[in-house]
Structure 1
Amino acid sequence: MPKVEHQNSSTVLTDDELRTLDAHWRAANYLSAGQIYLMANPLLREPLLPEHIKPRLLGHWGTSPGLNLVHTHLNRVIKARGIDALCIWGPGHGGPSVLANSWLEGSYSETYPDVGRDGAGMERLFRQFSFPGGVPSHVAPETPGSIHEGGELGYSLSHAYGAALDNPNLLVACVIGDGEAETGPLAASWHSNKFLDPVHDGAVLPILHLNGYKIANPTVLSRLPEHELDELLRGYGHSPIHVSGDDPATVHRAMALAMDDALDRIAALQQSAREDGVAERSHWPVIVLRTPKGWTGPAEVDGVPVEGTWRAHQVPLAGVRENPEHLRQLEAWLRSYHPEELFDAEGRPVADALACVPEGARRLGASPHANGGLLLRDLPVPSLDRFAVPVDKPGTTLHEPTRVLGDLLEKVMEATSARRDFRVVGPDETASNRLQAVFDASGKAWQAQQLPVDEHLDRHGRVMEILSEHTCQGWLEGYLLTGRHGLFSCYEAFVHIVDSMVNQHIKWLKTSRQLPWRAPIASLNYLLTSHVWRQDHNGFSHQDPGFVDHVLNKSPEVVRVYLPPDANTLLSVADHALHSRDYVNVIVAGKQPCFDWLSLDQARAHCARGAGIWEWAGTENGGEPDVVLACAGDVPTQEVLAAAQLLRRHLPDLAVRVVNVVDMARLMPREEHPHGTSDFEYDGLFTEDKPVIFAYHGYPWLIHRLAYRRTGHKNLHVRGYKESGTTTTPFDMVVRNDLDRYRLVMDVIDRVPGLAVRAAAVRQRMEDTRRRHHDWIRIHGTDLPEVADWTWSG
């Protein structure tokens, strides 16, 4: 028997309401199954034949009936209460369901006019599903009303909370599959309710859909005793409402009661916070929905049970074209929904099937919040001149680049204090990453207990910290996809935790850029700091610069990677990133004191070029260089300039060119990346035949991969991080990885023709200094004085 706890007994469906809700649900179930199986005869106006069946049966039926039930009942409460809502479909492989409901409500045909809401359009809807040239089987960017790619599980709830932040009038329903509920990212995201401000944010209604099975195994939460599951959800800070059963009529009544109960509670919680000033943390409702997997599908196939088992996960009847009994079962299954009652002679949905559907932008497939670029406003970034550091002479003053950026972000936070559409997220590292100036404009979002020793906690704050990179990523993605702006600040080594999540977001952006109806959204901006070369407190465990490699493998029209060498270039790059659309921008910058190389005007010009010659640092004097010293990253830049200075002192006749790279894509061919350079441009910077000694922030083979097709690649020698790390002095880190200035000078001598003999004494002096460094730090615990006190004096 179905069951509802905490139900509002005044909410009772009439017979007419029950009939129309069931009509909508049956129509959605029919359309969902039809997409998996049919390529012709969509309304079963003739007996089903093998040629009506798709040659390849792809898709997921098991979760679809439950998703259809949720969609149907969300429609009812949205229409009855006149609310704005968005739904995140965690079991995104239930794509047939979301497509079916979008087609039923009309938003699909409005988006894709060639798929009309009639019999011909239904045939196109069916045929295109998981078909060459059609649409994916998962909920995807092509799906109206979606902001959540269903290909990978675990991110639905954090996306939902991101969408609700600073959207006070929005209800975000989130269907969580019981397989998805087993993932680490989902488990951590239950804690998002401790960060949701009931005054300024919307509400999230999690709907935990327990149908019992994953692909081939039972699910953990579905096998917990109900009291144990309740204790878990209450421990997370939710109040559970249970709905369970397999009889459609009684489940409809129970689900209506549960939805009204949940929304009544949400309204009361918001009213108490907004009107009565209640400050205690709210315990938000969660609906636990238990229905059979593959509900209303074949009960048994080939003598084994299917409905209510793992066998219903994908395609319950697999051999329909070849097996007459399977074809008979499929026809009986599809006809059990009585399509003749649900669609008229032209194949249009009848009035009963549409009675619960809201109108206009309140339809889930037409919500502007699911096409966030429609709501996006330009970010008010103040002029950089207010924040730039003065640079009268390169390499003589030092600033902490991220601290300088923090001053800019504080003003952005301040400028958006009324409109509330900018957030900074990160795993407990805002102050550690020197961005604490933002706390002058906004505290840290926090709804849980506060103690007198706490600092910067604020029930209405817009800085968000939780020690779960997955949750930070999910929050920010949901926030951006619904039309807002933000920045993710993270230790460089641990941003790898979201490798898979950024994959999905990049795929989403790549696809959405090809859909003219999806408006561009604000870019996903990463600031990676506390980087590999300065891990004074932590050492080897915190040293991994490989996120750049990961991102540069992805769609070139979407990804951008910047390595600004000082404070002013960081300001310039950040300004560009914050104004950009539809990109994933990765910015790697240090938080430790760093030399100032360029004035703001010089930084702007240099960043616009992406890579350029620093004439003031070299000795080519307008002629042809003997060697090119190239660098990307703040620490490599300092080591290259120190090496250039040593070469100027010890080998004054050597013509040295210094090239700094800010935009890593500039190393790629133009045909491979929009920011790439032609061979002519590349050779102009690096020459065709001169040795190039490249000091790079990360793993050296990335530079070889980006430049392998260039004429001068055989002359390219790259120094970078090679997994030699520990807790040691800053300079010892570069020595351990052969990135130090003395090693670079030795590389020049080894690779410039004629220097091996002529400069043998210089090379020996460099090697001796490296040995002296080794002994010095083990006695004194600090770097050599000539390194620690070094400044540029070219």
Structure 2
Amino acid sequence: MSQSDDLALVDAYWRAANYLSAGQIYLLDNPLLTTPLTPEHIKPRLLGHWGTTPGLNFVYAHLNRVINARELEVLFVTGPGHGGPALLANTWLEGSYSQTHPDVPRDAYGMRRLFRQFSFPGGVPSHVAPEVPGSIHEGGELGYSLAHAFGAALDNPDLLVACVVGDGEAETGPLAASWHLTKFLDPAHDGAVLPILHLNGYKIANPTVLARIPHEELDALLRGYGYTPRYVEGDDPSTMHVRMAEVLDEVVDEIARIRQAARAGQTERPRWPMIVLRSPKGWTGPSEVDGVAVEGTWRSHQVPLAGVRDNPDHLRLLESWLRSYRPEELFDADGRPREELLALAPRGELRMGATPHANGGLLLQELRMPDVREHMVEVTKHGGGTSEPTRALGRMLRDVMVLNAEARNFRVFGPDETASNRLDAVFEVTGKQWQAGTEPVDEHLSTDGRVVEVLSEHLCQGLLEGYLLTGRHGLFNCYEAFIHIVDSMFNQHAKWLKTHRSIDWRRPVASLNYLLSSHVWRQDHNGFSHQDPGFIDHVMNKKAEVVRVYLPVDTNTLLSVTDHCLRSRDYVNVIVSGKNLTPDWLGPQEAALHCARGAGIWEWAGTDDRMDEPDVVLACAGDAPTLEVMAATALLREHLPELKVRVVNVVDLMRLQPETEHPHGMSDREFDAMFTPDKPVIFAYHGYPWLIHRLTYRRTNHRNIHVRGYKEEGTTTTPFDMLVLNDMDRYRLVTDVIDRVPGLGPKAVGLRQLMTDQRTRHHAHIREHGEDLPEIRNWSWPY
């Protein structure tokens, strides 16, 4: 077939995709225009985004041509927000949509269903969502497409990820940082990313920055990022097709040369090619409406013709627009794409809508895990020794790296904090992936490392999401206070997972695992700016089937929890753990059993008789709160030996919810057995106190639950002073017991005064000596 024949086919395919895209926005019926359009054929609510769609269709059609010519594996990532009509149209044309959605076949009936379902009650969203085959990128929010693309390319040496970046999206912070990710892509072992910057000039109502700066400035910017840009610019379809075909052939050849050179031993960082596509917004749509320019302006962003049902002129204009694509040439009388048109669609898994890389569970291999007990610490006496939990975890992750080295399917991501969070044992077996320049003083940098560190939480999250959704495993470690930077990214991924889990053709993927360390209670050298445990609250707002939150209390519980999380599927797991020396409360077997239960009574710590109810329950969740509860319990045992104290520790925060609200939740009977139906409960919690009230407000004994936690008091101070400032220290907890156990106050007035005096002593001591009292620093469980 000659090039002119090829491009005539590409143009026909593009017209078909444009017709199908516009039809989704407008048509309720009469999909093939077999009769003149009437108001009854039009949707009552016109929703969707036309402006970006023709450009996406243009790119998709041209990618099909090069896929067929070279048998390329291509994953298509669309950054422009609500370009859903384009991906739905193209996957329906190539057959992958009907394959995953048999109720929407490739015929007139299926075309009608395709149109009716779009942005319609009971249908599909206006953006690219999990329902769309071939997608890994939630189109609801802008800024993350390029990070997802690079994450997908890691350890995928034969994959080409074509990523369309919208010019409005390019103004976001995450996307602006993402251009740097070529400095982390290893062409010898990773795939390639082809950014396609789509300049159509406008956002919703304003011009875009990159479309309005001079060509020389744009070119200098992109070359400064390390790319070699090639330009496809214009509005005439025939010349644009020729230019796009030439440029795509050039960049695919260049990518092949880069890969070949790197795999032959060349170590110099390449300048990767990219494409700048400048086309009119709303290309091929109405040029003007009611005497006002539409094509090429912001007015085409959403629905170019808004009053179609009520305005006969608009209805006639819509019909003229749709017929301009000549649908009778593209579809037969039964609504099936004509055979000559389907010649452009690749076959089988080479179709971009059918690539297994966009349904990562199909490619997922079990993560090979070490025996977690090999990394646990021996505990001969509860609380008798100390260890650094995350340092032990680093050794376990090191072994995970070794066991999965051949599979190349596990990575650790973090914003320059792997060593700070004590996970640096991983550097014994791998380096930090790095393609930019190096100096003799640098440590652990490698062109082929399994750790990715970049000082952008957005990029770490985006890379990990792309990595997981294409069938691999990973862990994101971060300072607790700054994980909030990705609150919105977490939202999008959690929403993706919720929908993904309900789609039968999507296979389970590895969970997104957060390790939050350097947490609120041990930021004594950084201060108030680094103290915020609120990410937990944010996560708890999501659907119960998707999220899990764990608060391990020591080394062995951290290892047990992480072992479980790395093996899990289709969750977001949040693990919060300190990195400093922590008492070893539970031996290996005890830790495993306690983590499996999620919450339990520490009978060895309390003084209540198993046959009788206690006088008070001291509950804790988190490592610092557990230490204070244990110290408070020791004080009560010493000074009020007749008081029956029960100690309850919670590792899995979801256990506090009713079983009707979360799969891990407790029944009311179980909750009452643990926390009692009517006794005072003093609960020391890692984060903001009201979350515990929110989780337990339906419980019988909620009126007696008193929670201590972080209340936005902090500074650069000693570890114990942080607890005192927030009223979660052992002395305050003992006072709470005295004040809340009926009848205890008059009997324990001396102990109450002692607790107040101890807080006063502490205050004076730290201001004179700059460190905590010796009895605080050197305290250990005495029983």
Answer yes or no: same fold by TM over 0.5.
yes
Report the counterpart of residue 315 of structure 1 in structure 2. 303
Q: Is the 8 A contact 1:13 1:253 kept in 2?
A: no
In structure 2, how many angstroms separate the alpha carbons of the residues matched to 1:355 and 1:516? 29
- Distance, in Å, in 2 between the alignment partners of 1:735 and 1:313 is 55
Q: Distance in 2 between matches of 1:789 and 1:202?
A: 53
Matching residue of 2:585: 597
Residue 376 (structure 2) pairs with residue 388 (structure 1): yes
Residue 668 of structure 1 is matched in structure 2 by 657
TM-superposed CA distance for 1:583, in Å, is 0.1
- TM-score using structure 2 length: 0.99
Which whole-Å CA distance do the structure 1 matches of 2:417 and 2:582 have between them? Answer: 20
Structure 2 residue aligned with 1:141: 130
Superposition deviation, residue 357 in structure 1:
1.3
Which of 503, 512, 516 is the matching residue for 2:500? 512
Q: Of 214, 227, 235, which aligns to 2:203?
A: 214
- Tell me the residue number matched to 1:678: 667
CA distance in structure 2 between the partners assigned to 1:254 and 1:356 by the alignment: 18
1:168–1:202 Cα contact (<8 Å) kept: yes
Which residue matches 2:491? 503
Distance 1:219 1:381 in 2: 48
2:90 corresponds to which of 81, 98, 101: 101
- Pairing partner for 1:567 from 539, 551, 555: 555
Structure 1 distance, partners of 2:537, 2:308, is: 46
- Contact 1:413–1:438, Cα closer than 8 Å, also in 2: yes
- In structure 1, the residue matched to 2:414 is 426
Q: How far apart are 1:407 and its partner, in Å?
A: 0.5
Matched residue type, 1:559: V
Instruction: Give, as a single letter, the amino acid of the residue that structure 1 aligns with 2:662.
Output: H
Q: Distance in 2 between matches of 1:697 and 1:512?
A: 32
* Aligned counterparts, 1:442-521, within 5 A: 442-521=430-509
Distance 2:298 2:341 in 1: 30
1:575-614 to 2 correspondences below 5 Å: 575-614=563-602
Shift of 1:92: 3.7
In the alignment, is residue 131 of structure 1 matched against residue 127 of structure 2?
no
> Which residue does 2:328 correspond to in 1?
340
Q: Partners in 2 of 1:725 and 1:210 — Cα distance?
A: 47
Task: State the match for 1:251 in structure 2.
Answer: 240
Cα deviation, 1:180-201, whole Å, max 9, x if unaligned, reads 0000010111111000000000
Mapped to 1, the partners of 2:737 and 2:139 lie a distance apart of 52
Who is 1:43 aligned against? 32
CA contact (8 A) 1:13 1:256 kept: no
Runs of 4+ in structure 1 deviating by more than 3 angstroms, as ranges, are none
Match of 1:373 among 326, 350, 361: 361
The residue number in structure 2 matching 1:554 is 542
In structure 2, the partner of 1:77 is: 66
Matches within 5 A, 1:100-249: 100-249=89-238
Residue 273 (structure 1) shift: 0.6
- In structure 2, the partner of 1:300 is 288
Give the structure 2 partner of residue 792 of structure 1: 781
TM-score (norm: length of structure 1): 0.98
Distance 1:237 1:165 in 2: 18
Q: CA RMSD for the aligned pairs?
A: 0.8
Is the partner of 2:707 in helix, strand or coil?
strand
For residue 363 of structure 1, the aligned residue among 351, 354, 365 is 351
Amino acid at match of 1:107: S
Does structure 1 residue 653 correspond to structure 2 residue 668?
no
Alpha-carbon separation, structure 2, partners of 1:774 and 1:318 = 68
Match of 1:764 in 2: 753
**Number of the residue aligned with 1:441:** 429
1:630 matched to which residue of 2? 619
Question: Would you say 1:352 and 2:340 are equivalent positions?
Answer: yes
Give 1:621 shift: 2.4
Unaligned segments of structure 1, at least 5 residues: 1-11
* Matched-pair contact (CA < 8 Å) for 1:422–1:486: yes
**TM-superposition CA deviations, 1:685-720 (whole Å, max 9, x none):** 111100000000011111011111111111010000
Q: Deviations over 1:565-624 (max 9, x none)?
A: 000000110010000000000000000000000011101110111100000000002221
The Cα offsets for residues 102-135 of structure 1, whole Å up to 9 and x where unpaired, read as 0000001111111110111100100111111111
- Give 1:355 deviation, angstroms: 2.3
1:677-716, aligned counterparts within 5 Å? 677-716=666-705
Match of 1:529 in 2: 517
Correspondence list, 1:1-40, <5 A: 14-40=3-29
CA distance in 2, matches of 1:420, 1:234: 31
* Distance in structure 1 (CA, Å) of the matches to 2:584 and 2:285: 68
SS at structure 1 position matched to 2:563: helix
Question: Could you say what secondary structure the match of 1:380 adopts?
Answer: coil
Q: SS in structure 2 opposite 1:617?
A: coil
1:14 to partner: Cα distance: 2.1
Residue 537 of structure 1, CA deviation: 2.1
Contact 1:89/1:176 (CA < 8 Å) preserved in 2? yes
Query: For the Cα contact (< 8 Å) 1:104–1:117, is it kept in 2?
Result: yes
Moved more, 343-352 or 591-600: 343-352
Partner of 2:764: 775
SS class of match (2:365)? coil
Query: Could you tell me which amino acid in structure 2 is paired with residue 472 of structure 1?
Result: C
The runs of 5 or more residues in structure 2 that have no matched partner are none
What SS does the corresponding residue of 2:513 show, helix, strand or coil? strand
State the shift of 1:13 in Å.
6.5
1:15-74 deviation digits (Å, cap 9, x = unpaired): 211210100000000000000000110000111111000111000000000000000011
Shift of 1:149: 0.5
1:731 corresponds in structure 2 to: 720
Aligned residues: 782
Which residue number corresponds to residue 6 of structure 1? none
Q: C-alpha displacement at 1:352, in angstroms?
A: 3.1
Q: Say whether the 8 Å CA contact 1:24–1:352 is kept in structure 2.
A: no
- SS of structure 2 residue aligned to 1:616: coil
> Match of 2:304, as an amino acid?
P
Q: Secondary structure at the match of 1:711?
A: coil
Hey, what's the Cα distance between the residues in 2 that align with 1:44 and 1:146? 30
Instruction: State the alpha-carbon separation in 2 of the partners of residues 318 and 517 from structure 1.
Output: 36
Match among 246, 250, 253 for residue 264 of structure 1: 253
Q: Provide the rounded CA distance (Å) in 2 between the counterparts of 1:767 and 1:77.
A: 76
Name the CA distance, whole Å, in 2 between partners of 1:737 and 1:791. 22
SS in structure 1 at match of 2:353: helix
How many Å separate the matches in 2 of 1:257 and 1:591?
55
* Cα distance in structure 2, aligned partners of 1:769 and 1:531: 26
Once the two structures are TM-superposed, the CA of residue 281 in structure 1 deviates from its matched residue by: 0.7
Residue among 79, 82, 86 paired with 2:75: 86
1:8 aligns with none
Aligned pair in 2 of structure 1 residues 542, 780: CA closer, same or farther (>3 Å)?
same
